[in-house]
């Protein structure tokens, strides 16, 4: 199936999701003809005829109580026909998509064949392990594990490329998942394969199997993986799930009876929400924290060389002091805190380590990390296995990152490995001691940790895997779980809506914050006014000033003395050019906080924006006479005076700034303007030259700044030609 064909299938799904039934049926008919399948063509023709009859009955005014049920069945059939046409096309054309390549590889092999072979390899491993350690054939054990892993990969590929999953195969997989004699990683791969299949094609039996796994699994790892995958798949296919399927509905009914579901759904919702922020976290760690550490670390190394170890060979307290003084300790602490909060701080760091051949096998992106993997079992890999045990105990690395770490260790020199092993061992001991000092990890924390690692694995798959574009982008479209069919009472709980809204607000996802706060208002009888304040702020940050004002006003009805709200409302009015309303709000602030300098200045700025220069000047002079005002009004007075053509006062204040303050490029520029308007051209050019030197962009940036003010100078009487000449003269003067 070519990308164009897959796009056509997605287009049909979009039409169906948006209730454009006629266009969807027409597109599916063309799709079936393209596939050359007469059975499918006959089915879609039957759907089209049934839909036409439904429309005719409606046009004739027939009151048909079955209309919605008939339409639901037609839509379900259209979805199914489109999927089968796409699969048919991929099969007959020999598509090189990985889905169809693996499907062709295993066409002659049944799930029963693979599970039988897998059980045989698992039994062989058990027989070897039953021998006394001294009698075990280490190489035979590695070979058996490698063979088991190959059968796991075959099982994974067969599951995700089998569409639709038959009832017998579904029952077989349920047996595999529930078999405690099989390794847990094997069973985890089964549920992951269900998700991967659902990222290509809807399959109610795979969804039902995930729901059943969540209900019946005794393992937290299995249960939480199944719930996470189920939530993503249901969200991706929410329209089709809502159309109904009896088998799936039974499984979902069993789920809602689980006392743990509310807490577990909350974990999944929060962790998927945090995944939205991974790119920002990675950028912050890379560009801010790690860059800062890199800048100071050479100096720190020089200082540490002169300090001997502690008397017992341990850490010298002076080392710790050097780290604190340099700021490195604070940066490392911030990274640790981000990690402890469940943020993905290593996404960027490990992305380049996903080029190992191990990650060419798609199943390995979803494989739980475990020390019994054949990669870690050779005699020469004992140190690597030890290192990985320490790394896993240290926490923070997801499964695919742990595998990346293990493979990167293979290229290390032995001495470097040994040194790293010693360091990680110390860290692991500290982590273990910290855990011992705390209350034992409870069930919620354990299940949360599992979801964190799985979400991070998925993030890497969707962002790094070389053929990721062949799968529906679940992380783009399926992270909002509020409308999971049948589970809304769990996904729309007010406390969770509030948590998610606050997270989105704090991290700049303002659309999502507004949407969640709106749902919170609808779900509660008595909404806190603060919610409207926060909605207003989100709208303000997006530039929706009218909507921001409307929500701030709703908060203001409950608390009309909140200075923060009044100030932000005033800002919104200023952005809309409603200066009188802004000044009215600033005066309300002054009634609450008399003599508040920042507010007095804001009134002046608002008057200046409205070009009421005389009133603005009076306001600024009032500020300048206020105790503790310092130099805060000087620049405003100088500019206001210039706009009023009072060049003498303007130059006097700019001279004060240059002589008594810390002038910047804008100060030199504006002083030049005042001198130019006053006819003191040579002094103006000297001031402009100082501006040119003070800008980071040099002459080009100076020209840009000057051009932005050209209209002011022309209005104040400077000849247009002289303006251009002055720009060139100042630039040349600076070059000389």
Q: pLDDT tens, 573-595?
A: 999 999 999 999 999 999 999 99
What is each CA distance from 590 to 201, 385, 566, 567, in whole angstroms? 62, 67, 11, 11
pLDDT at 685: 92
Residues 406 and 365: their CA atoms lie apart, in Å, by: 14
Residues 6+ apart with CB under 8 A from 151: 114, 117, 118, 121
Q: Which is more confidently placed, 354 or 307?
A: 354
| Buried b / exposed e along 279-302 (16+ C-beta atoms within 10 A) | eebbebbeeebeebbeeeeeebee
Helix axes 38-59, 21-35, angle to 10 degrees: 160
In a domain, 213, yes or no: yes
Question: Which three-class secondary structure state does DSSP give residue 183?
Answer: coil
Same domain, 119 and 263: yes
pLDDT at 721: 87
Same domain, 163 and 292: no
> Are 194 and 160 within 8 A, CB to CB?
yes
Mean pLDDT across the stretch 116-143?
A: 92
For the chain, how are helix, strand and coil distributed in percent, rounded to 5? 75, 0, 25
Same domain, 235 and 323: no
- pLDDT tens figures, 261-302: 999 999 999 999 998 888 776 665 555 544 554 544 444 444
- pLDDT tens figures, 207-265: 999 999 999 999 999 999 999 999 999 999 999 999 988 889 999 999 999 999 999 99
Same domain, 215 and 85: no
Same domain, 88 and 148: no
Q: What is the CATH number of the domain that holds 509?
A: 1.25.40.10
Same domain, 145 and 212: yes
Mean pLDDT across the stretch 453-465?
A: 92
Question: Which three-class secondary structure state does DSSP give residue 420?
Answer: helix
pLDDT at 306: 46
- pLDDT tens figures, 615-672: 999 999 999 999 888 899 999 999 999 999 999 999 999 999 999 888 999 999 999 9
pLDDT at 720: 86
517 pLDDT tier (thresholds 50, 70, 90): very high
Burial of 706 (0-12, 13-18, 19+ CB in 10 A): buried
309: pLDDT strictly greater than 50: no
pLDDT at 402: 87
Share of the chain above pLDDT 90, in %: 65
Residues 6+ apart with CB under 8 A from 724: none
Mean pLDDT across the stretch 398-402?
A: 89
pLDDT at 669: 95
Mean pLDDT estimate for the chain: 86
In a domain, 646, yes or no: no
Same domain, 115 and 258: yes
pLDDT at 259: 94
pLDDT at 280: 73
707: pLDDT strictly greater than 80: yes
pLDDT at 733: 62
Mean pLDDT across the stretch 398-419?
A: 72
- CA nearest to 93, candidates 25, 4, 157, 14: 4
314 pLDDT tier (thresholds 50, 70, 90): very low
What is each CA distance from 484 to 239, 267, 272, in whole angstroms? 9, 15, 14
Same domain, 28 and 122: no
Same domain, 516 and 564: yes
Q: Which is more confidently placed, 77 or 392?
A: 77
Mean pLDDT across the stretch 441-463?
A: 91
Chosen domain end from 45, 73, 95: 95
Range of the domain at 505: 492-589
470 pLDDT tier (thresholds 50, 70, 90): confident
Using the 8-state DSSP alphabet, how is residue 440 labeled? Answer: P
pLDDT at 696: 83
Chosen domain end from 543, 571, 589: 589
In a domain, 473, yes or no: no
Same domain, 123 and 29: no
Residues 68 and 528: their CA atoms lie apart, in Å, by: 39
Burial of 177 (0-12, 13-18, 19+ CB in 10 A): buried
Residues 243 and 281: their CA atoms lie apart, in Å, by: 38
428: pLDDT strictly greater than 80: no
> Are 32 and 44 within 8 A, CB to CB?
yes
Same domain, 133 and 147: yes
């Amino acid at each position: 199936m070519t990308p164009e064909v897959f796009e056509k299938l997605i287009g049909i799904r979009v039409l169906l999701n948006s209730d454009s039934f006629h266009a969807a049926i027409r597109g599916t008919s063309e799709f079936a003809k393209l596939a050359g399948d007469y059975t499918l063509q006959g089915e879609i023709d039957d759907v089209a005829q049934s839909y036409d009859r439904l429309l005719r009955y409606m046009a004739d005014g027939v009151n048909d109580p079955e209309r919605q049920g008939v339409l639901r069945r037609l839509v379900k059939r259209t979805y199914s026909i489109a999927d089968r046409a796409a699969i048919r096309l991929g099969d007959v054309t020999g598509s090189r998509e990985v889905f169809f390549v693996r499907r062709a590889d295993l066409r002659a092999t049944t799930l029963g064949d693979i599970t039988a072979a897998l059980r045989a390899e698992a039994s062989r491993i058990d027989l070897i392990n039953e021998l006394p350690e001294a009698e075990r054939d280490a190489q035979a054990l590695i070979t058996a594990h490698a063979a088991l892993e190959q059968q796991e990969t075959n099982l994974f590929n067969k599951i995700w490329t089998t569409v639709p999953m038959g009832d017998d195969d579904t029952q077989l997989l349920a047996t595999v998942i529930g078999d405690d004699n099989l390794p847990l990683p094997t069973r985890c791969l089964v549920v992951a394969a269900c998700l991967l299949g659902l990222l290509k094609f809807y399959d109610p039996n795979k969804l039902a199997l995930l729901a059943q796994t969540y209900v019946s699994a005794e393992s937290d790892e299995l249960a939480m993986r199944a719930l996470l995958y189920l939530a993503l798949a249901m969200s991706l296919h929410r329209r089709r799930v809502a159309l109904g399927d009896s088998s799936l509905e039974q499984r979902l009914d069993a789920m809602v009876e689980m006392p743990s579901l509310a807490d577990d759904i909350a974990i999944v919702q929060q962790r998927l929400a945090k995944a939205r922020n991974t790119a920002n976290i990675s950028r912050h760690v890379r560009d801010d924290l790690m860059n800062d550490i890199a800048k100071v670390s050479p100096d720190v190394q020089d200082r540490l060389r002169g300090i001997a170890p502690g008397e017992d060979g341990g850490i010298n307290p002076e080392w710790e002091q050097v780290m604190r003084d340099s700021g490195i300790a604070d940066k490392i602490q911030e990274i640790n805190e981000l990690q402890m909060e469940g943020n993905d701080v290593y996404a960027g760091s490990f992305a380049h380590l996903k080029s190992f051949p191990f990650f060419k096998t798609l199943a390995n992106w979803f494989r739980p990390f475990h020390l019994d993997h054949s990669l870690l079992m050779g005699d020469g890999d004992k140190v690597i296995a030890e290192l990985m045990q320490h790394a896993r105990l240290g926490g923070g690395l997801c499964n695919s990152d742990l595998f990346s770490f293990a493979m990167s260790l293979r290229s290390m020199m032995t001495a470097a490995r040994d040194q790293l092993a010693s360091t990680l061992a110390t860290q692991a001991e500290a982590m273990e001691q910290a855990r011992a000092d705390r209350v034992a990890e409870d069930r919620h924390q354990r299940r949360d940790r599992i979801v964190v690692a799985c979400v991070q694995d998925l993030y890497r798959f969707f962002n790094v895997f070389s053929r990721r574009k062949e799968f529906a982008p679940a992380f783009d479209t399926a992270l909002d779980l509020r409308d999971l069919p049948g589970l809304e009472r769990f996904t729309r709980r007010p406390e969770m809506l509030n948590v998610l809204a606050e997270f989105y607000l704090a991290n700049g996802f303002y659309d999502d914050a507004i949407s969640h706060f709106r749902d919170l208002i609808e779900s509660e009888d008595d909404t806190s006014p603060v919610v409207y304040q926060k909605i207003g702020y989100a709208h303000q940050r997006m530039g929706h000033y009218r909507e921001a004002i409307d929500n701030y006003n709703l908060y203001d009805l409950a608390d009309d003395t909140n200075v923060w709200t009044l100030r932000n409302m005033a800002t919104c009015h200023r952005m809309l050019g409603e200066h009188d309303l802004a000044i009215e709000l600033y005066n309300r602030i002054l009634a609450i906080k008399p003599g508040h300098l920042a507010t007095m200045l804001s009134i002046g700025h608002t008057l200046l924006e409205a070009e009421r220069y005389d009133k603005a000047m009076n306001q600024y002079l009032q500020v300048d006479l206020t105790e503790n005002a310092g130099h805060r009004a000087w620049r405003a007075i100088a500019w206001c005076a210039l706009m009023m053509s009072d060049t003498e006062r303007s130059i006097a204040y700019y001279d004060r700034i240059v002589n008594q303050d810390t002038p910047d490029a804008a100060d030199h520029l504006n002083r030049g303007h005042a001198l130019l308007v006053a006819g003191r051209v040579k002094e103006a050019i000297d001031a402009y030259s100082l501006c040119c030197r003070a800008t980071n962009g040099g002459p080009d940036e100076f020209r840009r700044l000057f051009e932005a003010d050209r209209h002011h100078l022309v209005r104040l009487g400077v000849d247009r030609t002289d303006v251009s000449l002055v720009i060139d003269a100042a630039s040349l003067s600076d070059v000389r």
